[in-house]
């Protein structure tokens, strides 16, 4: 069975500092991995996804993530955050072609301070 663990429930960081949001997963099969962002009272927006190929994935808004199969991790990084990056970030995993169930982590609240 799949599971996703987001190791930090909250991450406070100062503006222009780098940030890493951690995500570990478990799955018995090949996985597709995703990071989504949710702003208050809104739905989720895809930041980036890993399906196959290069383990370093670049997404929108300057975010990137690295797939590490040996450590079963998919950590999200940004070299310099902005106040507008304050939001909830969800890591997710699924194991099949389109339409299969996706499991979401508990979320990490990124709070960017001036």
Contact 25, 91 (CB under 8 A): yes
Least separation in angstroms between residue 44's CB and another protein is: 4
Least separation in angstroms between residue 71's CB and another protein is: 22
77 vs 58: CA distance, rounded Å: 10
Nearer to another protein, 16 or 39 (CB): 39
Nearer to another protein, 15 or 64 (CB): 64
Binding site for another protein (CB under 8 A): 32, 34, 36, 41-46, 49, 51, 90, 94, 96-102, 104-107, 109
Residue 15 burial by Cβ neighbours in a 10 Å radius (0-12, 13-18, 19+): middle
């Amino acid at each position: 069975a799949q599971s996703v663990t987001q190791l930090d429930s909250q991450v406070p960081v100062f503006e222009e500092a780098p940030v890493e949001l951690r995500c570990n997963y478990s799955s018995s099969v090949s996985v597709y991995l995703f990071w989504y962002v949710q702003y208050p009272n809104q739905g989720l927006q895809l930041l980036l996804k890993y399906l196959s190929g290069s383990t370093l994935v670049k997404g929108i808004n300057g975010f990137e993530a690295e797939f590490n199969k040996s450590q079963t991790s998919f950590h999200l990084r940004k070299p310099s955050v902005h106040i507008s990056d304050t939001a909830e970030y969800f890591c997710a995993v699924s194991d099949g072609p389109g339409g299969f169930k996706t499991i979401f982590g508990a979320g990490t609240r990124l709070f960017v301070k001036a």
